[in-house]
């Protein structure tokens, strides 16, 4: 059974995906699988080793279980300050 | 009172420092980060900052709480800009007040260092050449550098 996941894109990923957010129907069990799908779909260029992941506004690991309705953000290398 | 903020408006240190006033404090240390006209040999004309605000604010407040706990300062606050900035604009302000100066200097340094590496905030540089790039994503990636902060989570297999 697939989950409905809300994905938000920032900075480089917003430009590469051509959108700020979208809702995807996916069988991805965790952020790692979801990222692989989005690389395929949008041509996101960054290696997962360089990213962090947030689910529902909290940092999580790549193996965290995704649930229906989750809000996921893949975080490119940051550059504040 | 909000301690960490993201602002779409110009920052005023004279206003911001009022947040740090406390009769028990004998010192106030502030850091101002300004937009520079060069980066790694490129002439920079202007910048854009973009933030994942809900998580940046939560993480920014964690950093400030850590600084207060770790160094025993009385107050700590930080405001980061978002949006389009010009050369010389104030991009980030950090302020700390404490009874004595030593812990205030250390806490201020801690806050700006952690803010730069932990908060989901991105900077796009627009160069005099007409090119532009997201710092640490495109420009450094093209040179084979990896500035990814805290890449401690296990990547997917």
Mean pLDDT of B32-48: 95
Calculate the CA B80 to chain-centre distance.
Answer: 6
* Interface size between A and B, measured as CB pairs under 8 A: 114
Angle of helix B101-118 relative to helix B53-71, nearest 10 degrees, comes to: 150
| Cβ–Cβ below 8 Å for A78 and B149 | yes
- List of domains in chain B: 4-36+50-122 (3.90.1170.40)
Residue B26 has pLDDT above 90, yes or no: yes
* Phi, psi (deg, nearest 5) at residue B88: 90, -15
The pTM of this model reads 0.90
CB nearest to A81's CB, from B112, B137, B138: B112
The pLDDT tens digits along chain A (81 residues) read 799 999 999 999 999 999 999 999 999 999 999 999 999 999 999 999 999 999 999 999 999 999 999 999 999 999 999
| Cβ–Cβ below 8 Å for A75 and B146 | no
Chain A residue closest in CA terms to B92? A81
| Cβ–Cβ below 8 Å for A63 and B124 | no
| Cβ–Cβ below 8 Å for B120 and A75 | yes
Mean pLDDT of B60-86: 98
- List of domains in chain A: 3-75 (3.10.20.30)
Q: Specify the long-range contacts of residues B71-75, CB closer than 8 Å, at least 24 apart.
A: B71/B98, B71/B103, B71/B104, B71/B106, B71/B107, B71/B110, B72/B98, B72/B103, B73/B97, B73/B98, B73/B103, B73/B104, B73/B107, B74/B22, B74/B24, B74/B25, B74/B98, B74/B99, B75/B19, B75/B20, B75/B22, B75/B25
Mean pLDDT of B53-73: 98
| Cβ–Cβ below 8 Å for B156 and A8 | no
The H or E element that residue A17 is part of is helix A11-17
| Cβ–Cβ below 8 Å for B121 and A32 | no
Residue B148 has pLDDT above 90, yes or no: no
Q: What residues in A contact B136, CB-CB < 8 Å?
A: 76-79
Chain A residue closest in CA terms to B34? A81
| Cβ–Cβ below 8 Å for A10 and B123 | no
- What is the number of residues in chain A? 81
Contact of B153 with chain A, judged by CB distance below 8 Å, is answered with: yes
pLDDT at residue B138, rounded to an integer: 83
Closest approach of chain A CAs to the CA of B147, in angstroms? 7
């Amino acid at each position: 059974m697939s989950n409905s996941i809300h994905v938000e894109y920032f900075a480089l990923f917003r430009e590469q995906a051509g959108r700020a957010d979208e809702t995807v129907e996916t069988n991805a069990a965790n952020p790692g699988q979801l990222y692989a799908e989005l690389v395929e779909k949008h041509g996101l260029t960054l290696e997962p080793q360089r990213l962090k992941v947030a689910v529902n506004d909290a940092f999580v690991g790549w193996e965290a279980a995704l649930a229906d309705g989750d809000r996921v953000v893949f975080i490119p290398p940051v550059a504040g300050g | 009172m909000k301690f960490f903020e993201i602002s779409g408006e110009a920052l005023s240190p004279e206003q911001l420092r009022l947040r740090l006033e406390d009769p028990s404090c004998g010192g106030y240390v502030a850091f101002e980060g300004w937009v520079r006209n060069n980066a790694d040999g490129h002439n920079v004309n202007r910048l854009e900052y973009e933030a994942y605000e809900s998580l940046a604010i939560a993480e920014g407040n964690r950093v400030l709480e850590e600084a207060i706990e770790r160094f025993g300062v009385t107050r700590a606050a930080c405001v980061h800009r978002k949006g389009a900035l010009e050369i010389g604009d104030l991009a980030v302000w950090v302020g700390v007040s404490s009874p004595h100066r030593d812990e205030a200097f250390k806490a201020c340094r801690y806050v700006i260092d952690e803010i730069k590496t932990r908060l989901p905030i991105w900077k796009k540089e627009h160069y005099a050449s007409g090119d532009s790039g997201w710092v640490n994503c495109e420009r450094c990636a093209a040179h084979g550098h990896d500035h990814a902060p805290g890449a401690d989570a296990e990547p997917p297999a």
